């Protein structure tokens, strides 16, 4: 992932802005722990990470957006925990974005998919154009709500599965960066052989097959041509290598169609 930069924001901070508070627990502290853990995993995978804070300090949302913009990151990921109107009534994870239909939504889908695998309920992706860190950042931005701070069960999972949570968020980000790289290479280096395993009008159905392919170790990715979501595996210059991949996919029970295109749209 050389050359890729991700800005990680630990939500809230300092005495002025603790975020949600439940009993002795403060959201700002959980956010920082998780943000640093996610960042370490990304760094271990060759990603250049910029943090909006690494200690318990306060910066306004505008200042955080400016940090991200000055860093010229590829993505901005803000880490938070949720709270319900009635303590204990909310449970699960969700991701907030400025608007649907762009790369931020793709990143949110990758992250939510991985978080669900840790055992948290996936509450979905929601538009929040009112949030400054999503509106003022110049790169695709998401805000991850990692469980409800005012729910004892979510807090138990947060502690017991902390490493899994950090890995899930980091994996979602890495999957997005990998997909970007795949598209870039294909566009820059000319035509490639790719194996198509499904074409869907509904994105969620395409993502189900994508998840199953990746679970089995196949280098699968998703493209959208304006009407359909297409699930594809690999991008090969050499036809023989593409044929071998197609054979492996068929052995695993996936339907296949060989395609040859100059770029992944």
Domain check: are 32 and 10 in the same one? yes
Domain check: are 162 and 196 in the same one? no
What CATH number has the domain bearing residue 221? 3.30.70.1070
Whether residue 185 lies inside any domain: the answer is: no
Q: Which of 151, 176, 201 is the last residue of a domain?
A: 176
pTM over 0.85: no
Contacts of 200 (CB under 8 A, 6+ apart): 206, 209, 228, 229, 230, 231
pLDDT at 220 over 70: yes
Dist. CA 165–CA 157, nearest whole Å: 9
Q: pLDDT exceeding 70 applies to what percent of the chain?
A: 95
- The whole-number average pLDDT for the span 210-231 is 92
Domain check: are 124 and 88 in the same one? yes
Dist. CA 125–CA 40, nearest whole Å: 25
Domain check: are 168 and 209 in the same one? no
Collapse the DSSP code of 65 into the 3-class scheme (helix H, G, I; strand E, B; otherwise coil) and give the result: helix
C-beta separation of 28 from 149 below 8 A: no
Task: Band the pLDDT of 26: cuts 50, 70, 90.
Answer: very high
Domain span including residue 41? 5-176
Domain check: are 158 and 196 in the same one? no
What CATH number has the domain bearing residue 47? 3.40.630.40
Q: Which of 149, 176, 203 is the last residue of a domain?
A: 176
Output the six-digit token pair for 163: 């490493």
How confident is the model over 93-133, as pLDDT tens digits? 999 999 999 999 999 999 999 999 999 999 999 999 999 99
Angle 157-174-3 (CA atoms, 0-180°, nearest 5)?
140
């Amino acid at each position: 992932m050389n050359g890729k930069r991700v800005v990680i924001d630990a939500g809230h901070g300092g005495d002025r802005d603790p975020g949600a508070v439940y009993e002795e627990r403060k959201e700002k502290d959980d956010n920082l722990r998780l943000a640093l853990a996610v960042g370490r995993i990304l760094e271990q995978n060759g990603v250049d990470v910029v943090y909006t804070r690494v200690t318990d300090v306060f910066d306004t949302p505008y200042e955080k957006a400016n940090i991200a913009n000055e860093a010229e990151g590829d993505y901005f990921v803000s880490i938070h925990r949720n709270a319900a109107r009635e303590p204990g009534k909310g449970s699960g994870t969700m991701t907030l974005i400025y608007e649907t239909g762009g790369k931020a939504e793709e990143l949110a889908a990758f992250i939510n998919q991985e978080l669900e695998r840790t055992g948290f309920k996936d509450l979905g992706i929601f538009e929040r154009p009112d949030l400054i860190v999503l509106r003022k950042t110049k790169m695709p931005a998401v805000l991850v709500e990692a469980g409800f701070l005012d729910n004892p069960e979510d807090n138990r999972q947060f502690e017991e599965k902390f490493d899994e949570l950090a890995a899930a968020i980091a994996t979602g980000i890495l999957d997005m960066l990998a997909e970007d790289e795949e598209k870039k290479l294909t566009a820059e280096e000319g035509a490639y052989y790719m194996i198509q395993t499904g074409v869907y009008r509904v994105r969620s159905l395409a993502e189900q097959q994508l998840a199953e392919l990746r679970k089995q170790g196949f280098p699968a990715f998703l493209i959208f041509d304006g009407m359909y979501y297409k699930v594809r595996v690999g991008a090969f210059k050499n036809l023989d290598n593409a044929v071998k991949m197609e054979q492996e996919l068929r052995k695993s029970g996936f339907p296949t169609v060989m395609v040859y295109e100059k770029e992944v749209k």
